Amino acid sequence: DAGITQSPRHKVTETGTPVTLRCHQTENHRYMYWYRQDPGHGLRLIHYSYGVKDTDKGEVSDGYSVSRSKTEDFLLTLESATSSQTSVYFCAIRKTGGNGYTFGSGTRLTVV
């Protein structure tokens, strides 16, 4: 499936704890994205990356940070998780030469 792996697939964490989600690709694509999906809100862009160490904010970036030290890995960190960050998180890549995205399988995060 386009070589995208998200980990973990499911996670339950407590309010105030840090959480890191990982997106790994095997095809060397330049653009990677983190979205969250919530009922009534659809898919909203959190952060994206256009190369190693090159990242930018999306529409719902508050409370999130990202890092991309290698082409294949894009990490999303919740510095201090809150219940409002309970969501399904999708990583996506934009394949070179294309405009559409390919999505990973998602991470279901619950903050209690």
Residues that bind another protein (CB under 8 A): 31, 33, 35, 40-45, 48, 50, 58, 90, 94, 99-106
Residue 9 or 79 with smaller CB distance to another protein: 9
Residue 48 or 74 with smaller CB distance to another protein: 48
Smallest distance, another protein to C-beta of residue 31, A: 6
Smallest distance, another protein to C-beta of residue 44, A: 8
Q: Are strands 107-111 and 87-94 parallel, antiparallel or unpaired?
A: antiparallel
Residue 80 or 110 with smaller CB distance to another protein: 110
Residue 56 or 79 with smaller CB distance to another protein: 56
Please, which residues have CB within 8 angstroms of residue 55's CB and are 6 or more apart in sequence?
Answer: 47, 48, 49, 66, 67, 68
Q: In 57-70, which positions are buried (b, 16+ CB within 10 angstroms) versus exposed (e)?
A: ebebbeebebebee
Smallest distance, another protein to C-beta of residue 62, A: 16
